Structure 1
Amino acid sequence: MNTKSPLIPRLCLAGAVLLWGTSFVAMKYALTGFAPMAVIFLRMALASLVMSLFWGRVPKTGRQPGDLKWLALVCLLQPCLYFLLEGFAVSLTTSAQAGMISSLVPLLVAAGAFVFLREALSARMLLGLGLSLAGVAWLSLSGAAGEAAPNPALGNLLELLAMCCASGYMLVLKHLSSRYNSWQLTGLQAFAGALFFLPWAFATSPAWLAEPLAAFRAVPGQAWLAVGYLGGVVTLGAFGLYNQAVARLASAQAAASINLVPLVAVLAGWLLLGEALAPAQAAACGVILAGVLLGQTKATGAGRAARSRSPADGPA
């Protein structure tokens, strides 16, 4: 198979979107037995354990002068600050409002790529981003009301900051992806996340220190299975696949696919949790799909020219 085929990075994007979309259902199951910060720590710790088993076989790229700050920034933005901010945001605001804010990622990435990476934005991509953004907003607004939001203003601000972290991560990743193996970057993110969330996990789960055996025995089996899926499949698979794709696609084009994540999440909730999919939500899913497909269709040479530029010309 031709590894230069444009189909390969698009398949990687599809896999990442599928895993990220189903992670919301897995998170709901995991929260039946663990606190939010504990779930994030366990998934990162499990991902680190899996990566350590194969770390010796992952191609290592020699670090160049100045790379250390970019590697540290990637790990700080995603998963550390992103999951920290979003973990608290979803407890303060409604899922509908958080969903609308999360749809800003492609636009934030496109704007950042234009400024820092000098990636051209075609009218077709702008139209596709706008259409998918409108679909995500419609999908969020048409959903059933969630739990009461104790502080929606603060929650929405934290969610916006989380999306800024996600956008920054995607741009910095583009800067490094030409020199570092995607699984090397994924492993570094998992290791950093496990260390970062370790104190948060114990701080929010005091029973882990007081009665650890009793605390873990009380966790239902479905919560353990969900953590295993999040850590062993989603964390490694989604980041690994996305890192593979972004190395061969323009940053804005890769980020456009993220608007499919809410669509997958709604469908997964409907299929696995029995959540009703209202006609308006089904229509919104169609709008999102149309927008992403429109944004991903790139017949001009602008995108190829953007990818031909060295990512080293990116963030300074």
Structure 2
Amino acid sequence: MANDRVSWRAALALTAGTLLWGGSFIAMKIAMRGYAPLLVVFCRMALASLVFGLMWRRMGGFGAAKGDWPGLIFMALCEPCLYFVFEAKALTLTQASQAAMVTAMLPLLTVLAAALFLKEKLEKKAAFGLLLAVVGVVVMSASGGATGDAPRPVLGNFLEFIAMCCAVGYIVTARRLAARHRPLYLTAMQAFTGTVFFTPVLFFVPFPERIEPGPTLAVVFLGLGVTFVAYGLYNYGVSLAPASKAAAFLNLIPVFACLLSYFMLDEKLTPTQWVGGGLALGGVALSARPGRDDQSSRRE
């Protein structure tokens, strides 16, 4: 059997990336206090692209075979393009902590996609875990009351789920491309494509009358800390680990996001929402446990 353990370098990169991604929900909420959601997305993409542009000569050349371009374009279209269209809207409708809980479904969706497209085995336990996670997200969303900061949580959480489906396309495709391309190049491809994709926003979205320091710093964090560093770390980690193993680290995103949103945004979940979130995380944990086949292969 091939060794499918995650190295300490991959684990460190994946953990650091998910910590930054968890903070992105809070930063996005803060940034939207001063800027329109899609304008925030464009600015973070443009800022990351600027950094990559300055680094491009030192990075060397980017050689992509003709057959790689459909995968590269599809990866960038899934994330950041469509992903941020749905997530930016979602975060105007729901709490950062609730949206982060929805991301707990991403590892299970990735396992399902890996079974369909990468021919990885899908166990009954994993399928049941996915169903349990869906039930948990539904319970959490249905029990959430509307607030000034989260006027339509059910719709917002559904849009976040659609964003997760886009993220699955990114993860599975990035895993394939990472075998032939350096993680830094994949991250640069995402930033450049995202900048071009969101450029029309400049002609339709109003600019703020004055620049607020808090939202502006949040945009800088999103552009450098998340779009540049977090994606780079995750692409590096996924290049060293199987797709299903790397996706398991995404379970840390809702944990980090809920802790940060509690301390920084004063967001609180109701007891019923905690139950729904617990069901979602429980479904993820159930699917993450090794099955009988995995345990027997390890003993061998």
Name the TM-score class by shorter chain.
Answer: 0.7 to 0.9
Secondary structure of 1:224's aligned partner: helix
Structure 1 residue aligned with 2:43: 42
The within-5 A match list for 1:249-260 is 249-260=241-252
Percent identity, aligned pairs only, is: 40
The structural deviation recorded for 1:77 is 0.8
The structural deviation recorded for 1:156 is 5.4
CA distance in 1, matches of 2:137, 2:248: 12
The alignment's TM-score, normalised by the length of structure 2, stands at 0.80
Compared CA separation, residues 130 and 17, structure 1 to 2 (3 A): farther
Compared CA separation, residues 150 and 21, structure 1 to 2 (3 A): closer
Structure 2 residue aligned with 1:52: 53
Structure 1 residue aligned with 2:181: 180
CA distance in 2, matches of 1:13, 1:295: 19
- Of 219-228 and 290-299, more deviation after overlay is shown by 290-299
1:269 to 234, 258, 261: 261
The 8 Å contact of residues 38 and 204 in structure 1, kept in 2 or not, is answered as yes
Structure 1 residue aligned with 2:162: 161
The alignment's TM-score, normalised by the length of structure 1, stands at 0.76
Corresponding letter in the other structure for 2:260: A
The 8 Å contact of residues 102 and 160 in structure 2, kept in 1 or not, is answered as yes
The structural deviation recorded for 1:185 is 0.5
CA distance in 2, matches of 1:81, 1:53: 26
The 8 Å contact of residues 101 and 280 in structure 2, kept in 1 or not, is answered as no
The 8 Å contact of residues 146 and 152 in structure 2, kept in 1 or not, is answered as no
Structure 2 residue aligned with 1:68: 69
Structure 2 residue aligned with 1:32: 33
The within-5 A match list for 1:1-316 is 6-92=7-93, 98=99, 101-121=102-122, 146-147=147-148, 149=151, 152-153=154-155, 155=156, 158-205=159-206, 215=209, 218-276=210-268
- Aligned-pair RMSD on alpha carbons? 3.5
Aligned residues: 291
Compared CA separation, residues 227 and 60, structure 1 to 2 (3 A): same
The structural deviation recorded for 1:127 is 7.5
The 8 Å contact of residues 89 and 156 in structure 1, kept in 2 or not, is answered as yes
Compared CA separation, residues 262 and 156, structure 1 to 2 (3 A): closer
Corresponding letter in the other structure for 1:267: L
User: Where does structure 2 lack aligned partners over 5 or more consecutive residues?
Assistant: none
**Deviation by residue 1:36-87 (Cα, 9 ceiling, x = unmatched):** 1111111111111111122222254532231111111111111011101222
CA distance in 2, matches of 1:121, 1:190: 33
Secondary structure of 1:219's aligned partner: coil
CA distance in 1, matches of 2:15, 2:9: 10
Compared CA separation, residues 92 and 131, structure 1 to 2 (3 A): closer
User: Where does structure 1 lack aligned partners over 5 or more consecutive residues?
Assistant: 208-214, 306-316
